[in-house]
């Protein structure tokens, strides 16, 4: 739940929102991976990296947009996030377009959390995180 002091943070720049949303997204992935078992940290890092990257986050956002589950305010945050300038040299995975989409998703996550709408994050993003974790762990088991 959001504190009243977090509401003004919702009005910060999209880059700041994306920075916060990135941390929250990664935190959730790490917690959920750790709950699945006691894997070596190098394996946990590989699993995390497969989920917490621009390409995967852009795909997740594309799914939300295709499902038409975002309201007008949320879509406005996404549009603003997509228009945020990114440095091409700063992208580690994916294209500039994917990086901008990932930035938009991260900003939306922070917007929800800081605005006291964590339930939207839990309803729309957490099931996708869980599905990706399940697929990653299944792939890990097959390689054994």
CATH number at residue 76: 1.10.1520.10
Kindly state whether residue 7 falls inside one of the protein's structural domains. no
**Which letter, b or e, does each residue of 112-135 get, where b requires 16 or more Cβ atoms within 10 Å of its Cβ?**
bbbbebbebbeebbeebbeebbee
Phi, then psi, of 31 in degrees rounded to 5: -60, -45
Number of domains in the chain: 1
Per-residue pLDDT of the chain (144 residues; tens, 9 = 90+): 456 666 777 788 899 999 999 999 999 999 999 999 889 999 999 999 999 999 999 999 999 999 999 999 999 999 999 998 766 545 566 899 999 999 999 999 999 999 999 999 999 999 999 999 999 999 877 776
- Is residue 119 assigned to a domain? yes
The answer to whether residue 110 is domain-embedded is yes
Torsion sign, CA atoms 94, 98, 104, 110 = negative
Note whether residue 11 is domain-resident.
no
Residues labelled catalytic: 22
| Nearest by Cα to 97 from 58, 57, 68 | 58
4 assigned to some structural domain: no
18 by Cβ neighbours in 10 Å (0-12 / 13-18 / 19+) ranks as: buried
Range of the domain at 24: 18-143
Query: Model's pTM, two decimal places?
Result: 0.89
What pLDDT shows up at residue 91? 53
| Residue 1 located in a structural domain | no
Q: Is residue 103 part of a domain?
A: yes
Tell me, yes or no, whether 13 lies in a domain.
no
């Amino acid at each position: 739940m959001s504190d009243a002091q977090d509401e003004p943070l919702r009005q910060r720049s999209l880059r700041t929102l994306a920075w916060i949303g990135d941390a929250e997204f990664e935190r959730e992935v790490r917690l959920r991976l750790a709950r699945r078992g006691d894997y070596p940290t190098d394996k946990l890092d590989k699993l995390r990296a497969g989920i917490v990257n621009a390409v995967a986050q852009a795909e997740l956002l594309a799914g939300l947009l295709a499902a038409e589950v975002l309201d007008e305010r949320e879509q406005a945050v996404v549009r603003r996030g997509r228009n945020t300038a990114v440095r091409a040299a700063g992208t580690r995975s994916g294209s500039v377009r994917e990086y901008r989409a990932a930035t938009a998703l991260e900003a939306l996550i922070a917007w929800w959390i800081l605005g006291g709408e964590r339930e939207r994050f839990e309803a729309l993003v957490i099931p996708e995180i869980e599905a990706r974790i399940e697929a990653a762990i299944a792939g890990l088991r097959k390689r054994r």
